[in-house]
Structure formats: structure tokens, C-alpha cells
Chain A
Amino acid sequence: MSNFHAPNGVTNILVVGIGGQGVMTATEILAEAAISLGHDVKKTEVAGMAQRGGVVSSHLRFGPKVLSPQIAPGEADLIVGFEAAEALRWCHTLRPGGLVLMNTARLVPPVVSGGLYDYPADPVAEIRARGIAVHAFDAMAIALELGDMRLGNSVMLGAMADHLPFPADVLLASILSRFGTRKPEMVEVNRRAFEAGRQADAGVKQETATA
């Protein structure tokens, strides 16, 4: 993508979602890809009691030398939203000219279902209204089509693959090596999920360009 042009050469990626969605795992896979290229890496979460369905934001910074592990507001190069409202919650941390890549699936917490709060009517439109470039697609639907909700993680990673300052193959290798050592039977299905995510993103890009 776009220009990763911070003067210190550090790339800032913010991955957001909900506890249990695999946000922290996705960031870990990205981190391993960056390490394999010799980068210094720091990764931090503001997870709180995330195991219980709370908000998770995972910061990944990599480059020649990384100091603070946190991405300062307005300095994220790329925001990856695993859930629609969470992408909206964090979109203000994007730098001018950055990109929000998001799953349009909506995960509704009990406080919304119970009528205490409203879910935003159209999170994608609200983010765009801020003048932010958005690539949005239903990653959950793609994962279900491939047969397992849990593939959403690899779908999202695939969607990121062409927006990183290194080749998509490096990221794919990082995913496959993780599954290859733990669950060899998962390699092929994750490769498919990765490619499906990558294609979904390419499709969105084309639509955005012709719109």
C-alpha cells in the first residue's frame, strides 16, 4: 500500500476486536512475519478482562528500533477491525492517509441487546464520513462459507496481506508455520482462507476505485 513513511521507519498496525475473536493471535502472526525479516518488534494489548467478551486492541510496531509499544493517537498506518463497531471505536487513531480494513460483521453485546445502548446504524459510513479510506467486507460470511467461523482470523490476515511493507508471501509463511507445527491438517484450509481474504480485499479495492 500506501506509504509507510514515518521518519523513524516504524510501521504501526492496530488490530481491534473482541476477546475470543483471535485478535491477539493475528497480531502475533504479523509480529512473527516482521521478526523473520529482521525487524525489531513490540506488541502490546489493552485487553483488560477481554476473555469475558470485552474490547481488545492489539498494537504492533515494527522497524529498525521500536521504543514505546503503544501506537499514539493519530499514528496508526493501518487499522484492522475484526468487528464493525470496534473499527469505528478506534478509527480516530489512524494517521492521515491511513487505511481501515474491516469486517462488517456485527457482534452485539448484552448491554446493546438488553436495550441499554444502540448499535451504530452504519459503522462503515460513519468511518468514511471522517474522510477515511475503508476496505469493508463480511469476513465472517467468508469464514462460514469455508466451513468454520474460526477461519475469520486467516481471512482477515489475507485481507491485510497487500497493505504491508513486505510481500504477502512472508505473512502467509508466518501463518502456515504456526499451523504446520501445531495442527498440520489446518494448513490447507488456512491457506484457502488467506487467499479468500486477499481476494475479498482486492475486490473491495476495485469497487472503491471505480466508485
Chain B
Amino acid sequence: MAANSFASHASPAPASVARNPRRLLSGNEAVARAVWESGVRLAAAYPGTPSTEMLEVISRNAAADLYTEWSVNEKVSLEVCIGASMAGSRAFCAMKHVGMNVASDALMTFTLTGANAGMVIAIADDVGLSSSQNEQDSRTWGRFAHLPILEPADSQEAYAMTKFGYELSERFQVPVILRLTTRICHVKGLVQTGERVEVVAGKFEKDPRRWVMVPGNAKARIPLMYEREQQLREAAETSTLNSIDAGSDRRVGFVTSGPAWMHVREAFPDAPVLKLGFSCPAPVEMIRAFAATVDNLLVVEETEPLLELELKAAGIVCHGKDFLPRIGELSPDVLKPAVARLLGEPVQAPATLPAAVFPRPPTMCVACPHLGVYYTLAQLKNITIAGDIGCYTLGAGHPWNALDSTISMGASMGVALGLDKGRGAADKDKKIIAVIGDSTFLHMGMQGLLDITYNRGNVTILILDNRTVGMTGGQSNPGSGKDIHGALAPRVNFAKLVEALGVKPERIHMVDPYELPTLFKLLREETRIAEPSVLITNRPCVLIDEYQKQQPYTVDTDKCTGCGNCIDVGCPAIQVTRREMAVKPSGKEVELQFVGIETAACTGCGLCLQPCAPDAIIPARAVQAINVMTKH
């Protein structure tokens, strides 16, 4: 979880250290601290796991001369930082790996203009996909955009490399990429910190040949970019961030970077290791010299074989993905068998195997407004639902199974239009629905809706407005009515916005997702009309501060008939207490599921009352609130 202010992190230091006490910081907190100490004057980001806490922590420590914002998407956040750098202020931008896909349009030209004041862009790769739709290697951007990449291996390095990043950025007038992974962002380690140094803002100097990238000007910048890349390569060849541990067992020498370096050191304490901190442009000659000192060279990189291919192209004989997996983390238990295979040694089987235990997928929260939406969608027949990215992606799971696609931020719009326009005869009667959250809609969904209205698509759109970025822990967005500090900010009017994007006023409905019959009726009506319509649900997320709990409910076990209708709501407070087989009057055999409600978890939203035919769900007396889990 995110930290509070820097001040609250103090831990007692060993007596030998007279400076600041070392603090137990996550990689994200360490980067935030370094950004603050580096005199950065503007920091911008869009939330995304595992990167979110960087900007959260910076914003809590905003100095009078440090502006922070949640931007509407990563491209805008990068552009805001570009402007600040042009204006002469050090800038910081953070995003998750897929964020750079959105921001890269700006990046690919920013590399031509270069930075004025220092700029560090932290990109957090979700190696192992703990909370992402794909796994991609952001080191690719260094090759693609000809930018330097720094790769810390722990919190202390994340702190130090962020600070070094600003020096490097200003020395070469280049934006610097700080490549993090989940195993850096969310690991806590001890960090020796310093103090904030004020860096006075420079001045924007008009220089169209540098800042106005029309073809003639851009063409003249390209050779400068390659010249800069060559200078950076020379800097990497001699950088102290790239170091060699000579080791004693020379059978396998490792070239590695980031968290993989720690895993290599842990698994092979006696091996020669070349550690890359300044990893792009790659110090190929340094690696060539190292390769000559070992029997086998193994490149250990998460996740793509980028360095391995560069080394092979340079004529350096090495191994890499021929022994190591291309997906997931390269932890010691992955490395050891791979190296055994390389050396032709027997591979040891794991000592013990895991027990078979049920999976425990994430669930939606008790009383989540999305429950009403997915309960209703699951009742509709003959529909295809294009989904999007957020908590509501969980609607694809048990018990709703109510999403047919998830691709990228805002993709529900375009995918729905394509499902409509591209339908074959077999799907001619299918109703097409798109489901998107408020923040995702503002991030990248608006353009897709404009495409739907402009091209007269037949799509019913659900905008689930819960007033926050829920999945990443409740950050604000232009639909929240609050800024990054919680101060009042203009709140976008979704009904007016979608009308301005071309949806007819009579096709726009505000609806309470707890009112299941209204939601069902509206959805059925609107999907029958062959033009774009928008339903905006208006219940806030239950995790935001303003959420008010109501009196909880319980089940009158004498009245419960075991119909199981309430289970379809998908609320984690509803538990099956007993199953029984029964024969219906029609002769059909059914399984009855009698239920109980964990009253301590129930917040009284009343969703489950609506499908309960025998009125068996009744008010309970309030009890000590606990988490969503229950005791069996």
C-alpha cells in the first residue's frame, strides 16, 4: 500500500550511520523520494498497477514549487511533462507498461527535440502479470526511441538511479527512461535518503527549429539523435552503474539487470556477473571483454531477448532464451534448473509439490454498484458485451460471465462498433453492448464513442460512473469532482459530454444500478433501438470516503426456499449454507441452495432483496464491521 508522508517512514538506523535514518521504502516510494529530492517542479501520471504509488507519494509531499496532477491519460501526462521541461522545470512522469503504448506518440517525437530541464519517465512493467492485460518489455522503447534506460535492482538503486537520471537527462538533453518492474515497485527495502535540493526553473527559449517538429526541422534533428545515442553508448561503457563481480566459478558468466540481477546473485553466489544498471544503449564492448573471461555467457533478462539479440548481432557468443523462459520472473527457482541444463547437469526436481487448493480469484466488493449492472446483464439474452479495463472487468468471472472481450483502455467502444459493423448473418439479431468505467471512458473511450455516433453504430453503451479510479485504489479523475489533493475540482457532466459527442438526448439515461427492474427495462428497450444509446450508472464506489453503510440484512432461514436467485447477484457476503436436491412439479430435478448473509460484512445495499421471491432477506441488528470475508 502507499505510504503517507516521507516523515512517517523513519526507522531507527544502525548507530554507525549519522545521516538520515535509513527508511524501509518500496521501489515506488524510493523513486518518489528521489523525485522530491531532485528539485522536480512538475510530476504527472495516470494511475496504473504497479506504478500508481509513485505519484501518490509525491503528491502528498508536494512542495510549494512542486506541482502534481492525475492526468486523463498517459499521453497527456507525458505531454504535460514535455511542456514543463521546455519551460525549464525538472519533470517526472510515471506510468505502467501499457501506458507507454498510449504515450508513445509523444515520446517518439520528443526524442527528437530532447529535454530542456531534466526529465525522467518511470515505466513499470508488470512482469508476471499480477494485474495487467499483457506482459511487455519497456526496454524496447529505449531501442525504438533511442533513449537511455536505467534499471534499478532494488529500492536503494531506484532512489539513486532516479537522482542520477536527472543529471544524465540534463547532461545529454535527453528524456531518461527508468525501467521498473512489479518486483521493484512493490518490494520494500532499506533506503538511505537525503534532502530536497531546490532547482530553480529556467526559462522557455523560443527555438522553432528545435521545438516545432515539421518535416524540415525534424529531419535536421535526426542526425543529432543518433549522435546523442553514440555519446550515450560511450557513457554506458564507462558508467559505474555497469559493474563486474569477478566471481570464482567461471563455467557460466551472467549478464543481467534489474531484479533478475538479485536472483542471479542469490542463486549463484560464486559466479562472475556483469550487472547492467545503465542498460541502454548497451555497453557491448564491456560485455565482449567480460564474455572472454567466462566459459559460457548467459544473458538473464526479463522478458524479451533484447540484449541477447544485440550481443549476437555484435558477434558475441551467448545463451539466453534458449534456456530461459520468455515470460514471467527469472527467480532463483527458474534460474537453477536452466543453468543445470546449460551445463548438462541433472535437473533437480522440486522437493515438494503444492497441495491442490481451490483458486481464490478477486471478487467484487460487498454492495459494489457493478453488482447490479452485471446481475442485469447476465439476465439478458442474445447479446455480445465488449468490456473494458477496471474493477468491472471482474464481470467476466463467476457468477455473471457477462463480458465477451477485454483488450485495452477504451477498447470497448471501437470493439463494439466493429462487432456491429462486422457482423455476419449468424449474428444479425445480436444486441451489442459496451461496458466502460468513468475513468476509462475519459482516458480513451470518448474518441471511440465519437466514432460510434459519427458512423451511426448500433451499440448500447453503459458508462459505470463510480466517481473514482477503483481498481488502483481510488484515485481521482475529472469525473470525481476532486483533484489529486482532494480539493474541489470541476466534475465532468457525463450526460452533456456524451450528448456533445453525438448521442441523441432521448437516448441518454441516468440510472441507479441498485434499481434492478429499471436497469433491466432500460437495457432491453435501448438495445432494441438501432442507434447509439448511453446508460450512465450513478452510484459511487463503496471504497470512497463518502460511502455510507446502511443497516445490514440477514436471512430468515424458515422462509428461504433455496432458489439461489440472490447468489446470482455475486455479492461476497452471501454464502451457501446448505445444498439439497429436489424435484420440481414439472418433474425436473434441481439443486436447492439455501443461503446465509454474513451480517458483519453486509452494508445493507439491498440488491439481493430484489431477486428474492419469498422475501426471506430481512434487516439484522448491526454488528462489528469486518472485511468482506466470512467464517464458514
Query: How far in angstroms is the closest Cβ of chain A from B303?
Result: 17
Chain B residue contacts of A18, Cβ below 8 A: 360, 629
How many residues on chain B are close to A (CB under 8 Å)? 64
In contact, A54 and B361 (Cβ under 8 angstroms): yes
Q: Chain A, 96-127, contact with B by CB distance < 8 Å: what is the 0/1 string?
A: 10000000011111111111111110000011
Chain A residue contacts of B131, Cβ below 8 A: 48-49
Chain B residue contacts of A195, Cβ below 8 A: none
Task: Among A54, A68, A106, point to the contact of B360 (Cβ < 8 A).
Answer: A54
Chain B residue contacts of A92, Cβ below 8 A: 350, 352-355
- Contact residues of A: prevailing secondary structure: mixed
Query: How far in angstroms is the closest Cβ of chain B from A149?
Result: 4
Q: Among A41, A68, A92, A115, which residue has the most Cβ atoms of chain B within 10 A?
A: A68
In contact, B362 and A54 (Cβ under 8 angstroms): yes
Chain A residue contacts of B333, Cβ below 8 A: 72-73
Query: How far in angstroms is the closest Cβ of chain A from B188?
Result: 4
Asked whether B365 is an interface residue with its Cβ less than 8 Å from the other chain, the reply is yes
Interface residues of B in 358-405 (CB under 8 A from A): 358-365, 391, 394, 398-399
Task: Among B357, B591, B626, B629, point to the contact of A120 (Cβ < 8 A).
Answer: B357
Chain B residue contacts of A140, Cβ below 8 A: 631
Chain A residue contacts of B24, Cβ below 8 A: 28, 31-32, 35, 41, 43
In contact, A20 and B363 (Cβ under 8 angstroms): no
Chain B residue contacts of A89, Cβ below 8 A: 354-355, 357
Asked whether A24 is an interface residue with its Cβ less than 8 Å from the other chain, the reply is yes
Chain B residue contacts of A160, Cβ below 8 A: none
Q: Chain B, 320-335, contact with A by CB distance < 8 Å: what is the 0/1 string?
A: 0000000000011100
In contact, B567 and A114 (Cβ under 8 angstroms): yes
Q: Among B265, B471, B629, which residue has the most Cβ atoms of chain A within 10 A?
A: B629
Asked whether B493 is an interface residue with its Cβ less than 8 Å from the other chain, the reply is no
In contact, A31 and B360 (Cβ under 8 angstroms): no
Given contacts A43-B188, A49-B471, A89-B354, contact A68 B265 (CB under 8 A): yes
Asked whether B233 is an interface residue with its Cβ less than 8 Å from the other chain, the reply is no
Between A and B, 6 residue pairs with Cβ closer than 8 Å are A53-B363, A70-B331, A85-B358, A108-B630, A113-B574, A114-B399
Task: Among A32, A91, A149, A150, point to the contact of B355 (Cβ < 8 A).
Answer: A91
Asked whether B307 is an interface residue with its Cβ less than 8 Å from the other chain, the reply is no
Q: Chain B, 614-629, contact with A by CB distance < 8 Å: what is the 0/1 string?
A: 0000000000101111
Given contacts A68-B266, A106-B631, A107-B630, contact A35 B359 (CB under 8 A): no
**Smallest CB-CB separation from A74: which chain B residue?**
B351
In contact, B629 and A35 (Cβ under 8 angstroms): no
In contact, B331 and A53 (Cβ under 8 angstroms): no
In contact, A42 and B187 (Cβ under 8 angstroms): yes
Chain A residue contacts of B351, Cβ below 8 A: 73-74, 96
**Smallest CB-CB separation from A129: which chain B residue?**
B355
Chain B residue contacts of A40, Cβ below 8 A: 190
Asked whether A211 is an interface residue with its Cβ less than 8 Å from the other chain, the reply is no
Q: Chain B, 534-575, contact with A by CB distance < 8 Å: what is the 0/1 string?
A: 000000000000000000000000000000000100101011
Asked whether A46 is an interface residue with its Cβ less than 8 Å from the other chain, the reply is yes
Query: How far in angstroms is the closest Cβ of chain A from B96?
Result: 14
Task: Among B189, B391, B628, point to the contact of A42 (Cβ < 8 A).
Answer: B189
Interface residues of A in 15-48 (CB under 8 A from B): 18-21, 24, 28, 31-32, 35-36, 38, 40-48
CA of A117 to CA of B356, assembled, Å: 11
In contact, A130 and B362 (Cβ under 8 angstroms): no
Query: How far in angstroms is the closest Cβ of chain A from B8?
Result: 8
In contact, B355 and A117 (Cβ under 8 angstroms): no
In contact, B360 and A109 (Cβ under 8 angstroms): yes
Task: Among B11, B361, B473, B574, point to the contact of A51 (Cβ < 8 A).
Answer: B473
Chain B residue contacts of A54, Cβ below 8 A: 360-363
Chain B residue contacts of A149, Cβ below 8 A: 600, 624, 626
Task: Among A36, A53, A127, A148, point to the contact of B628 (Cβ < 8 A).
Answer: A53
Query: How far in angstroms is the closest Cβ of chain B from A28?
Result: 8
CA of A52 to CA of B368, assembled, Å: 11
Query: How far in angstroms is the closest Cβ of chain B from A31?
Result: 6
Q: Chain B, 119-158, contact with A by CB distance < 8 Å: what is the 0/1 string?
A: 0000000000011000000000000000000000010000
Given contacts A42-B188, A89-B354, contact A119 B632 (CB under 8 A): yes
CA of A4 to CA of B263, assembled, Å: 21
Sample of 7 more A-B contacts, CB < 8 Å, known A70-B263, A114-B399:
A32-B24, A36-B11, A69-B189, A108-B629, A109-B361, A110-B398, A116-B358
